[in-house]
Amino acid sequence: MEKFTKLTGIAAPMPLVNIDTDMIIPKQFLKTIQRSGLGKNLFDEMRYDREGIEIADFVLNQSAYRKAEILVAGDNFGCGSSREHAPWALLDFGIRCVISTSFADIFFNNCFKNGILPIVLPQDQVDVLMADARKGENARVTVDLEAQTVTTSDGRSFGFSVDPHRKHCLMNGLDDIGLTLEKAAAIDSFEAKATTLRPWA
């Protein structure tokens, strides 16, 4: 998993509330177990018409936001079914951070496990970031995980909370497998001892 320490990038404004996981990645794209390749279908039903042609006014189809790395969204982002493909699709598109006033619990947890930082801020601060994101590609937002701050293009800074263990994992690029491998020496020692004590096992 890629480390997340400090990110300065384009923020795309998406003020819709209750964006669910089926909107993020529709069910017909859940057949794969590959984490790559889903970015092209991110927000598929909002990005493309029935003929597969881009809908020009959808934010991620606009030239200013095609390389967005941060999403500023409405309340209750990631609600709906518990599909891990949703953060996979966001990450494959290039989104490393989502900012909202609230997230669905399962989606929130899945983000951390896949290298995405979900940030919860009060509505008034999200409103400021949303307005800043609407300035387009020249307005870069900075997310500093170590300092736990989000800074707008004009220098306004907001602090956010994050669980210390999840912060450690993101900053060191550790998913569940990575955390287990940190204990590899202890696991090897236990298995060697167990083989000696119980050779029949």
What's the pLDDT tens digit per position in 96-112?
999 999 999 999 999 99
Residue 67, CA distances (Å) to 51, 108, 132, 178 in order: 24, 23, 16, 28
Asked if the structure places residue 17 within a domain, the reply is yes
For the cut 80, the answer to whether the pLDDT of residue 141 exceeds it is: yes
Asked if the structure places residue 1 within a domain, the reply is no
Asked if the structure places residue 179 within a domain, the reply is yes
For the cut 80, the answer to whether the pLDDT of residue 176 exceeds it is: no
pLDDT tier for residue 184 given thresholds of 50, 70 and 90: low
Domain enclosing residue 131, as ranges: 6-197
For the cut 90, the answer to whether the pLDDT of residue 138 exceeds it is: no
Q: Which residue has the higher pLDDT, 11 or 193?
A: 11
- Please tell me the predicted confidence (pLDDT) of residue 183: 54
Asked if the structure places residue 167 within a domain, the reply is yes
Asked if the structure places residue 139 within a domain, the reply is yes
For residues 30 and 107, give the distance between their C-alpha atoms in angstroms, rounded to a whole number.
15
- Please tell me the predicted confidence (pLDDT) of residue 123: 98
Average pLDDT (2-14) is: 97
